Structure 1
Amino acid sequence: MAAPENSKIRWRSVCIGKITVIVCTILTILTQKCSALPDFPSVTYEMMYSAGLDAYSNQKWSDCMKFMSRAIEDYHFYTETLAECRRLCTKANKFNTQKPVDMQLAIFGNYVYKSNCIRKCKMTKFKTRPDNYSAEVDEAFENLKPYDYYQLCAFKIQLYQHAAAAAYTFLLSNKDNEAMQKNIHYYRSLPQVKDEFFVNLEEKPYQT
């Protein structure tokens, strides 16, 4: 199987400040069945993704899977909550734009009002969560790169059902990725891998 491309992102490049506290918090997350962000708002998908990359580099396959899974979960929580804030605040029009004389002032006033609305919503939802993320990491999540690492780490410890599902999910959004095409072909050749293992992990319940 072809390994995912090496990433230059490392845990130490993201973890700044109270490293010991954050590491202990992440280890706590790995032992609990909880959504990462609501319970540990200071630990983000970027941090867990970087920790997953370190686990991958150190061949700690089980930890790699756990970190990547938590990172994906937290990324969904963050992006969906942010989208909810924007939807709620888009509906808010404090100033009347029906009067032509005041049109420009009203438009500017509504822009400021909505910006403040989103900021307050984020503060309420995210509390102490950091709000700046690496463009490289965000691009990795948009391209479903965590699933690439997840499938390889799962394969290393013979968790073929997890590996097949993650590989299939990644390939759906990266159809021209030859390495993953070969991985899927390999998984299908394994006698213990069933057709029903190939599911889209990004698919929402209402889409099924």
Structure 2
Amino acid sequence: MKTLRFDPLNIIICGIGGQGNVLASEIVASTMNELGYRVAVGETYGASQRGGSVMSHVRVSETEDLGVLIPSGEAHIIIGFEPLETLRMARHYAGPDTMIVYDPRPVYPLGVLQGNQSYPPIEDIIKELEECSSEAHTVAASDIAVEAGDSKAANIALLGAFSRLTGSPLNTEELSKVLTQRFQGDVLKINQKAFEAGCAAIDEKGGNAS
């Protein structure tokens, strides 16, 4: 069991409905719990079935029983499945010690597709995320998932990237082991491929935890 970089360690996993956010948070929380940490999980949902916001708070401690909600400005890691949702969370929860790993591929809401709303330039989102955190890593998780064989595996690609962050409480071996327990057959192979590619994306940036 790793010593936590911060105690409590606060993790936010965010995106929109249907991207696998809840599964990702459940994997992180249950793995931490099995390793002996005390874990609290809180989730908030927008109109998730229509592509609304979904956010999970995962709080981890070696000794404390924690409340489920992360205080403003006190997230240590943000895992984002959609860039604008990541920015919304970062504006409220990021602080000087926050690390962010996210997929920069936009998922446009209906209002944008209909021309009634605008979506910020992705370059502006990337710049602001870099400015409001200690580290911000883009990982093309959606593209990785498609290349692995299933677009639904983007969440697993981001978990691979998360495992390679210097401040991650879980290492690559621990999360990789969980995949073999959760999935079987071709689904396991696809998720393993996506996970490994997510790891490689961080390693190539020089942000790995080894």
TM-score using structure 2 length: 0.29
Higher CA-based Rg: 1
TM-score using structure 1 length: 0.29
Structure (1/2) with the larger helix percentage: 1
Structure (1/2) with the larger strand percentage: 2
